[in-house]
A and B are shown apart, each in its own frame.
Chain A
Amino acid sequence: MSPPDSPASDEALLEVKDLVVDYRTRHEIIRAVSGVSFSISRGETLGLVGESGCGKSTTGRSVTLVQRPTSGSVVFAGTELTTLAPSRLRQERTKMQMVFQDPISSLNPRRRILDIVAEPLNIWQIGSPEDRLEKAAQMLEAVGMDPGESGHRRPQEFSGGQCQRISIARALILRPLLLVCDEPVSALDVSVQAQILNLLHDLKHEYSLTMLFIAHDLAVVKNASDRVAVMYLGRICEVAPSELLYEEPQHPYSAALLASIPDPDPRSLRDGAPLTGDLPSPADPPSGCRFRTRCPHAQPLCEQVEPPLEEIAPGHLVACHFPEATRHA
């Protein structure tokens, strides 16, 4: 897959500010997302990476308001979504669609795939019933499925990769502006991963999509994204253009994540200590910097003051008191 070459315009399609999402359990409130802000320009792909449980999927769901955020603002194409009336939200939300991690759970096992892909048109009563099936068939072809041969079969007859293609067809049939991909290839074989990533890349250009690409695999995100945001325990700790992030990670957590990518070249050496310990509970995050309990460079200051997300170079934001650049200097 070639690096994205679409010129990202400066106009922000999606602007998220101070997003907070709490999950209530019987005994405690878990703050899955704790004040996340970012924006995505039209035509841009923002990668969102982090360990399991860091809140990246929840962020994706809150952006589409499938999960109601506890507080914060989501401005999409100039419209504030969090305060929108339910009926308007229903309509506005069709311009942002999702592709999920689990290909099997993504599709209703009792429906034929042609109906699954045509369902968005049925919901909004677009065109005649024949038109809808025709459009669904075209959409299936666009994602590399044969509608004549497979349209009348049901999801369990397909492989994981094929199910993801069907999910993508369903997500794109209403011609959305934003596609939120929540770990779209994590459940797939490596060879199939590449096919789906290439498909997403092609469709992105064909349908002029803006994408939020969520993954825990940095190698996958690297090629797919223009910019990458790294999340840790419900907060963003670093945002940078993907080339820059991979070459000069500034946050110790980003550095550790990058160091954990298996490298086929035994001679290449990367700095950054491997991570030890577990992710602390988001119900009771550490004081000050959230990463300090696992950070190899933690200082007393980190315990007391939470570092804000600050721009240390144009387009490069880091939330760390002692970013790599200053430590080496």
Chain B
Amino acid sequence: MPDSQKRLGPLFWICLGFIGLVVFGAIFANVLPLPNPDAQNYAAVNAGPSLHHLLGTDDLGRDLLSRIVFGSRVSLVVGFGGIAIGLAIGGTLGLVAGYRSGALDTVLNAGSFVILAFPPLLAIIVIVAFWGRSLPKLTLIIGIASIPSMFRVIRATTMSYANRDFVVAARALGASNRRIIFRELLPNVAPAAISFALIGVAIIVVLEGSLAFLGLSVALPTPSWGNIIYEGASNNNLQTNPFIALWPALAMFLLLTSLNLVGDRLRSYFDVREGGL
């Protein structure tokens, strides 16, 4: 458990606060006093920031702040949902494989290599193109794609604990395998898993952006951060109104920075110093 001397620092709380703000906005977007993100207002096209439109409007006169807030739903659902799938399946398999080793581990490990050998973006593009690109499908596909890397990280972390003497002691005491995995191994693996999961969310948020550029994220006009940046970069918009692309890119940048920093700080905070002897 954390030492009393260890501190997370103010930057950690600022970043966590920003993540909280984005999540809050995504959940309560309907209730917040925001204009309809799809309402076009040709009287105020490419408007700068004003009281009416805090971040201005795009080339169709849609409110950018509203589009970004509603667009965060896609990014967050894909990001956190995808990682949740990866963590649930890949993490569980990684724990079992790392603890049991043997034939099961060999098979799962080889399987993860086979899947990792495909360039993930290419695989996702192909599947999305054939299967469709609704939000649940997108989340599921990206989630499945994240299973092998999640598996490998959890497996490696588990292996570093599985041969320690306290695990042998637990076995000698008659603890069942399930008990050893959940009571002895999981608490030691969890910090690394959480940290890696947060970084995974950041990677997926960027991935959604890449898919949007290829026209493979959720269908327009539904806003997503990737979709808004894509629109902001097309039709000469970068020359006429760079803010369309700038605001969502800035939001994405801040979210990624926050996720990475929070993940990293949490990992070192929960890291047990073992140099005491």
Contact = CB atoms under 8 A, between A and B. Distances in A.
Interface of A: 61, 64, 66, 90-91, 93-94, 96-98, 100-111, 119-120, 123-124, 154, 156-157, 159-160, 167, 170-171, 174, 187
Q: 9 closest Cβ contacts across the A-B interface? A: A100-B165, A110-B187, A109-B272, A106-B165, A90-B174, A105-B164, A120-B173, A105-B165, A108-B166
Interface in B1-43: 1
- Residue of A91, A104, A110, A119 most packed against chain B (CB within 10 A): A110
Interface in B259-277: 272-274, 276-277
16 contacts: A90-B174, A93-B172, A93-B174, A94-B172, A104-B277, A105-B164, A105-B165, A106-B165, A108-B187, A109-B272, A111-B187, A119-B183, A120-B173, A123-B174, A160-B277, A170-B173
B272 A100 contact: no
Contacts of B274: 104, 109, 156
Contact of A119 (B1, B164, B173, B277): B173
A125 B188 CA distance: 24
A97 B277 contact: no
Contacts of A91: 174
A98 B179 contact: no
A108 B1 contact: no
Contacts of A96: 172
A109 B188 contact: yes
A94 B173 contact: yes
Contacts of A156: 272-274, 276
A156 B172 CA distance: 23
A66 B173 contact: no
Given A98-B168, A106-B169, A124 B174 contact: yes
Nearest to A173: B173
Interface of B: 1, 164-166, 168-176, 179, 183-184, 187-188, 272-274, 276-277
- Residue of A66, A103, A123 most packed against chain B (CB within 10 A): A123
Contact of A98 (B172, B175, B183, B276): B172
A107 B187 CA distance: 13
Contacts of A97: 172-173
Contacts of B187: 108, 110-111
Contacts of A157: 276
Contact of A103 (B175, B176, B183, B277): B277
B78 to A, nearest CB: 32
Nearest to A182: B165
B105 to A, nearest CB: 14
Given A119-B170, A170-B169, A187-B277, 14 more contacts: A66-B168, A94-B174, A96-B172, A97-B172, A97-B173, A98-B172, A100-B168, A101-B165, A105-B164, A106-B165, A120-B174, A123-B174, A156-B273, A167-B169
Nearest to B191: A110
Given A64-B172, A97-B173, A106 B166 contact: yes
Nearest to B273: A156
A59 B176 CA distance: 23
A42 B174 CA distance: 23
Nearest to A61: B168
Nearest to B173: A120
Contacts of B276: 104, 156-157, 159
Nearest to B276: A156
B222 to A, nearest CB: 43
A17 B168 CA distance: 23
- Residue of A97, A105, A154 most packed against chain B (CB within 10 A): A105
A171 B174 CA distance: 12
Contacts of B166: 105-108
A66 B172 contact: yes
B101 to A, nearest CB: 12
Contacts of A170: 169, 173
A174 B173 contact: yes
Contacts of B183: 119
B1 A110 contact: yes
Contacts of B173: 94, 97, 119-120, 123, 170, 174
Contacts of B277: 103-104, 159-160, 187
A245 to B, nearest CB: 29
- Residue of B1, B172, B175 most packed against chain A (CB within 10 A): B172
A120 B173 CA distance: 6
Contacts of A98: 168-169, 172
A93 B173 CA distance: 7
Contacts of B184: 108
B165 A123 contact: no
A170 B175 CA distance: 13
A64 B52 CA distance: 75
B256 to A, nearest CB: 30
A124 to B, nearest CB: 7
Nearest to A170: B169
Contacts of A171: 169
Contacts of B1: 110, 154
A104 to B, nearest CB: 6
